[in-house]
């Protein structure tokens, strides 16, 4: 089968750090679409409304490869590319900055605050690490090589140029990045630590909480008590694998659910507005790896601190 080839570059600039949506008009063996409008209605009317599709066509918001507006009555042509900017719903601003621990021509090591998503997804589009840093650093190609949960703070490795992303993603895929986390959770003097925890973790699409089940282990974490004050302990967590919610699941299984965790041991209803005074007490503290592009050894440490364990 003949390949489609590389699509043309987007003729629209980013908006608020977000790329335009690219649409390729598919083959139409049934002849259902006589015009561009016919297809766009079938494709987007349910998601954004028929009136909005017509309004966008009237305003020239769908463009072709030359950047010119595409009219709804233009004949349907399979394989043609169109671009447009989606409408962003209002987002609650996360009132914390994204720190930059390190920057060179290949990398940006971001220090992500709690409550800020890493990548645009779902309800979080412009209020994300990617969108913010693209705007603030004027780096339109910036992309993350991995992801932190929205509620987790700490280090995120981002690449400056999209072409370098694969090399750095491979580091994480091949477990060549040493990651170290810090957490605050209950202190149990009867629990023997440090220890390695291994289990089988399953995460179903559409279900918030992951769960452990019998079977071959697919996750491994090193858990160490660093200190304790009264009823709480400070823990160093070193994951050998990267399952969704792995550290939170393992700590909860030990009877040590993280402070302010809204999912483990019990899923709490998501509030209408985030309670910024109760961040999840989990911090991606250290990233250590050998740079696949330059060959340099790197070790980065977050400048953030967990609020439940203030310096004294």
Report the C-alpha gap between 223 and 115 in whole angstroms: 24
Query: What's the pLDDT score for residue 245?
Result: 97
For domain 99-301, the question of CATH label 3.40.50.300 is answered with no
Cα of 154 vs its chain's centroid, Å: 13
Report the C-alpha gap between 61 and 112 in whole angstroms: 33
- Written as six digits, the tokens of 276 are 């910024």
- DSSP E strand stretches across the chain: 21-24, 81-84, 99-103, 107-112, 143-144, 153-159, 178-186, 195-202, 211-213, 219-229, 232-239, 282-290, 297-301
Query: What's the pLDDT score for residue 1?
Result: 39
| Residue 147: closest CA among 245, 237, 71, 33 | 245
Report the C-alpha gap between 180 and 186 in whole angstroms: 19
Report the C-alpha gap between 69 and 66 in whole angstroms: 9
Name the residue with tokens 């996750």.
Answer: 219
What string of DSSP letters covers 98-125? PEEEEE-SSEEEEEEPTT-BSS-BTTBS
Q: Could you state, in chain order, the average pLDDT of each consecutive group of 10 residues for the chain (312 residues)?
A: 69 95 88 92 93 96 96 94 94 96 97 97 93 97 95 98 94 96 98 98 94 97 97 97 96 98 94 92 98 96 95 66
Q: Where in the chain is the domain with CATH 3.30.2350.10?
A: 99-301
Q: What is the pTM of this model?
A: 0.90
- Given a contact cutoff of 8 angstroms between Cβ atoms, the answer to whether 126 and 135 are in contact is no
Query: What's the pLDDT score for residue 4?
Result: 58
* φ, ψ for residue 197, nearest 5 deg: -110, 125
- Given a contact cutoff of 8 angstroms between Cβ atoms, the answer to whether 18 and 126 are in contact is yes
Query: What's the pLDDT score for residue 6?
Result: 77
Query: What's the pLDDT score for residue 87?
Result: 92
- Given a contact cutoff of 8 angstroms between Cβ atoms, the answer to whether 110 and 153 are in contact is no
| Residue 257: closest CA among 267, 244, 248, 246 | 248
């Amino acid at each position: 089968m003949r390949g489609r080839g590389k699509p043309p570059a987007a003729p629209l600039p980013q908006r608020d750090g977000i790329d335009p949506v690219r649409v390729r008009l598919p083959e139409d063996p049934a002849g259902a679409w006589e015009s561009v409008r016919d297809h766009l209605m079938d494709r987007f009317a349910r998601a954004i409304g028929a009136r909005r599709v017509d309004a966008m066509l009237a305003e020239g918001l769908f463009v072709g490869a030359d950047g010119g507006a595409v009219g709804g009555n233009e004949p349907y042509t399979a394989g043609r590319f169109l671009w447009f900017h989606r409408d962003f719903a209002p987002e609650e601003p996360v009132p914390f900055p994204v720190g930059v621990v390190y920057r060179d021509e290949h990398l940006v090591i971001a220090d992500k605050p709690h409550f800020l998503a890493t990548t645009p997804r779902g309800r979080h589009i412009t209020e994300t690490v990617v969108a913010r840093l693209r705007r603030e650093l004027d780096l339109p190609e910036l992309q993350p090589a991995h992801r932190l949960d929205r509620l987790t703070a700490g280090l995120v490795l981002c690449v400056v140029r999209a072409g370098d992303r694969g090399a750095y993603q491979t580091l994480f895929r091949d477990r060549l990045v040493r990651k170290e986390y810090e957490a605050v959770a209950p202190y149990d003097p009867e629990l023997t630590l440090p220890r390695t925890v291994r289990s089988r973790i399953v995460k179903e699409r559409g279900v918030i909480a992951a769960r452990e089940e019998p079977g071959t282990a697919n996750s491994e974490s090193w858990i160490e008590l660093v200190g304790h004050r009264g009823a709480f302990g400070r823990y160093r967590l070193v994951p050998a694998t990267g399952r969704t919610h792995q550290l939170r699941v393992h700590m909860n299984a030990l009877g040590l659910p993280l402070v302010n965790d809204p999912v483990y041991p019990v899923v709490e209803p998501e509030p209408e507005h985030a309670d910024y005074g109760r961040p999840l007490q989990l911090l991606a503290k250290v990233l250590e790896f050998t740079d696949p592009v330059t060959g340099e050894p790197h070790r980065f440490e977050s400048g953030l601190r967990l609020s439940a364990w203030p310096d004294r």
